[in-house]
Amino acid sequence: MDQTVTEENLQQICAKLSDTEVAVNNELDLILSRYCHVEAKLQNISKVLPNLTIIHSEADKLGEMITFTNRLAENVSAKVRRLDLARSRVSECQNRVHDVLDLQLCSQGVATALRNEDYEQGAAHVHRYLSMDRQLLERTAQDVSGDHTSISSSLVTLQQAAHQLRTVITHKFDEAVKDEDLASVERFFKIFPLLGMHNEGLSKFCQYLCTKLQETAQKNLKAALDAKQTDKRASVIYADTMTLLFEGIARVIEIHQPIIETFYGPGKLLPTVVILQKECDRQIKKIIREFMVHRNVSKKVHAINELLRKQSADKIDPKDLDLLLGEITIMHSRAELYIRFLRRRISNDLEIGVANIDQRKDQLQEFELYIGKSELAHAMQELLGAYLALERYFLEESVNKAVGMDTLDQDQQTSSMLDDVFFIVRKCVRRAISSWSVDGVCAVVNMACGILEGEFASQLRSRLRQGYPAGYLDLAQAYNALQTSIQHGRLQASDTELARLMFLAYLNNTDVSIEHVETLTKSLGEEIATAFPNMREKERGKFDSCLAGLRGVTSTLRAVVDYGLEQLRASAVKPRVTPWVDSFLSLNHHINEDELLGYETEEPFVQTLVMNLEGLLQVFKGGLTPSNYDALIGILTAEVTARFEKVVLKSTFNRAGGLVLDKEIRALAGYLAAATSWSVRDKFARLTQIATVLSVEKVEELADYCGADAVAWRLTPAEVRRIASLRTDLRPEDIKRLKL
């Protein structure tokens, strides 16, 4: 109400005040109306108040009761706990009594068993004794020391019995081994683990198996040495002996692994194999020694190395090495097979026996290391070394022989050396694959590359270097002469004829050998993939690299083909084509309308040229492989067009002459295009365009031909002007004025 009271708002203020009054009245009414209600509540409260004291005292009582119960419960549980302890002690005690009873039983049993020689029973008793907590037993013995029970004496008895049994079993086992009593050997072998002698048992048993292996192996080796030369398997007798040894060991493992697993637990194959491998190594060494001596391997390798150094007359016939090479690869592959068998078996055994993956890996690694250092691996490396030295000689000498005995059949495009060489190369690599040695295969592939790129390629090249002798004036004539001489049964063709045929054959040899190398690489890749199904990354890399090297031989061979074709061009194509094309110069190219008609029907120049070319090609058509023949036509086309261009530029024409030329060039291009599967259009481009220039009606037409948009136009403006000026009927001023 802080407004200043004025006349004007007096009314307003009054209204406001009365409003406020009404509101206050209302509020007061509301409060009054609640009075009754509040009064009632207060009365209620005063009525309930005494109850509260009762509740309080009751709650106190409850609390006391709970505390009491709690104490009681604790007391009870402590008793229970004590009871439990007592019960467990009783049970332990029971166990101990059991053990003690068993101990006594065992000690008595052992004695009886020993007396009765029932070693299984005895060992079972000892096993029971060994499974007891020995320290506890000893303490028990001390605890009851006052009482003269038989516990300590039982312990002593059992200890003695165990010791005695161990000695007896060992002794009995040795005796059984000596008596070759297999049943007893196996019987005692099963007892060892009961006596806690796992390692001793395994090692003793394996030693026994080793002696068995040794006997068989010696017998086999002796049989091999005594085998007659006429024996069917005489040539592979050492490989057979080795195979028998491996098979023997594999069989031993096959038979005894289940027994070992049952009585000694899984995961024991690795130590078993380690012991057996020692015997294997000893026997392999013996076999290899005999093999080396009786097959003269070292002597042969030595002789071959000598031969490679200095060419001597008395060479070893590669054929004589064939059987030996075969035997070595068999030996190597058998050893590889055997190692794969061991690896597989051990890895399976470890999978069951060793839960930890890292440990498993370690053990496998241990096996790899062991086998890698073994005498067997060493022997395999020696074998491979000898094999490669011999195979290299075989490959080189056989290829040399094939090249030396090269013959050419009249109806063949290639000579015998081609197929022979590739047959030998394939045979050698295949033999290497059969050895199952990655390095061996790679080495032989490398050798094959060497010989193909070296000796083989240089043979091809040197024959082609002698060139294609063009003795006859006309090649068709030469060919006919040869044909008649063959028909008349005079097989000895003259030197020139023979040289010519040989040249073509070698050109074909080279061409076909490119194909052969490609096929060989592909098929060897497939064969290798089949022979080595589980190649590791690195091994695959080795193969790929070596095979890529083999494929690379094709580029050397392609260079030789190019060289041969160049020779052919120089001696057979160029000298013949030049005079044929040059005859164009002696012709008149200023033709009147009447003559033009005659030319249109006859085309005398080009008909003769085509006939000559046909004659030339005919000689080669049957004699060259399709791709060489195509290449020859390519060379011929290049030669003809180049020469033709030269002679055209030396001639002069009128329009009719130009038209005739244009027609003749089309006919020539048509003929050559029909002769080959390759396109010759490109080679004729310039020539056709020259003819176009020479056959224009008016100089102005030229501008259309060689305008900027003519992409395929090959002639420069200067050349166009020069060619146009050959037309005597065109005015030089017009040509000069021409804007190109």
Q: Which is nearer to another protein, 80 or 369 (CB)?
A: 369
Phi then psi for residue 356, to 5 deg, are -70, 125
Query: Which of the ranges 20-28, 343-351, 387-395, 714-722 carries the binding residues for another protein, by CB under 8 A?
Result: 387-395
Of 357 and 559, nearer to another protein (C-beta) is: 559
In terms of C-beta distances under 8 Å and separation of at least 24 residues, what long-range contacts does 493-502 make, across chains too?
A: 496/469, 496/471, 499/466, 499/469, 500/468, 500/469, 501/408, 501/623, 502/408, 502/415, 502/463
Cβ distance to another protein smaller for residue 437 or 692: 437
Closest approach of another protein to the CB of residue 297, in Å: 13
CA distances, 188 to each of 120, 167, 573, 576, 679 (Å): 8, 12, 93, 98, 89
The yes or no reply on residue 365 touching another protein (CB under 8 A) is no
| Of the residues 343, 542, 574, 666, which one makes contact with another protein according to CB under 8 A | 542
Question: What's the rounded Cα separation, in Å, for the pair 481 and 501?
Answer: 13
> What's the chain's length in residues?
740
Choices 8-16, 489-497, 535-543, 686-694 (CB under 8 A): range interacting with another protein? 535-543
Does the footprint of another protein cover residue 372 (CB under 8 A)?
yes
Size of the site for another protein (CB under 8 A): 43
DSSP string, 356-418: -HHHHHHHHHHHHHHHHHSHHHHHHHHHHHHHHHHHHHHHHHHHHHHHHT----TT-SS-HHH
Give the nearest distance from C-beta 308 to another protein in angstroms. Answer: 8
Q: Which of 381, 466, 523, 728 binds another protein (CB under 8 A)?
A: 381
Two structure tokens written together for 122: 């005895």
Region of 286-294, 470-478, 490-498, 556-564 interacting with another protein (CB under 8 A): 556-564
On the CB side of 491, CA atoms within 13 Å amount to 5
| Closest CB 287 distance from another protein, rounded Å | 17
Handedness of CA 136, 138, 139, 141 (dihedral sign): positive
Q: Per-residue DSSP letters for 31-47? A: HHHHHHHHHHHHHHHHH
Cβ atoms < 10 Å from Cβ of 505: 24
CB of 521 or CB of 692, closer to another protein? 521
Residues 560-599 touching another protein, rule: CB under 8 A, are 562-563, 566
Binding to another protein, residues 278-337 (CB under 8 A) = none
Q: What is the largest CA-CA distance in the chain?
A: 163
The stretch near another protein (CB under 8 A) out of 138-146, 166-174, 375-383, 704-712 is 375-383
Shorter beta-carbon distance to another protein: residue 126 or 557: 557
Q: Does 631 bind another protein (CB under 8 A)?
A: no
Per-residue x/- track, 429-468, another protein (CB under 8 A): ---------xxx-xxx-xx-xx--x---------------
| Residue 653, beta-bridge partner list | 727
Closest approach, Cβ 561 to another protein, in A, equals: 10
Q: Are 470 and 482 in contact (CB under 8 A)?
A: no
Nearer to another protein, 41 or 361 (CB): 361
| Helix (H/G/I), strand (E/B), else coil: 548 | helix
Query: Smallest gap, in angstroms, from Cβ of residue 585 to another protein?
Result: 32
CA–CA dist 61, 52 (Å, integer): 15
Give yes or no for a contact between 702 and 696, defined as CB atoms under 8 angstroms apart.
yes
* 389 makes contact with another protein (CB under 8 A): yes
Among 79, 219, 558, 650, binds another protein (CB under 8 A): 558
Closest CA to 395 of 367, 416, 424: 424
Alpha helices in 295-317, H assignment, sequence order: 297-309
Residue closer to another protein (CB basis): 253 or 304: 304
Task: At 613, list the tokens.
Answer: 């070319």
75 touches another protein (CB under 8 A): no
Taking CB under 8 A as the rule, does residue 425 contact another protein?
A: no
- Calculate the CA dihedral of residues 650, 655, 656, 657 and round it to 10 degrees: 0
Of 159, 153, 148, which Cα lies nearest the Cα of 125?
A: 159
Kindly tell me which of 41 and 299 has the beta carbon lying closer to another protein: 299
Q: How far apart are CA 293 and CA 289, in angstroms?
A: 6
Nearest to 268, CA basis, from 187, 161, 186, 350 = 350
User: Looking at 388, 452, 475, 573, which residue binds another protein (CB under 8 A)?
Assistant: 388
Compute the half-sphere exposure of residue 48: CA atoms within 13 Å on the CB side of its CA.
8
* Residue 454 per-residue DSSP state: I
Min CB(181)–another protein separation in Å: 43
At residue 727, the 3 state secondary structure works out as strand
Determine the interface stretch with another protein among 49-57, 125-133, 322-330, 382-390 (rule: CB under 8 A): 382-390
Applying CB under 8 A, which part among 104-112, 292-300, 371-379, 622-630 lies near another protein? 371-379
| Residue 664 contacts another protein per CB under 8 A | no
Residue 395 binds another protein (CB under 8 A): no
CB of 352 to another protein, least distance (A): 29
Residue in 552, 622, 626, 732 binding another protein, rule: CB under 8 A: 552
| Chain center to CA of 133 | 57
Could you tell me which stretch among 167-175, 200-208, 539-547, 639-647 binds another protein (CB under 8 A)? Answer: 539-547
Residues forming the site for another protein (CB under 8 A): 369, 372-373, 377-378, 381-382, 384-389, 392, 438-440, 442-444, 446-447, 449-450, 453, 538, 541-542, 544-545, 548-549, 551-556, 558-559, 562-563, 566
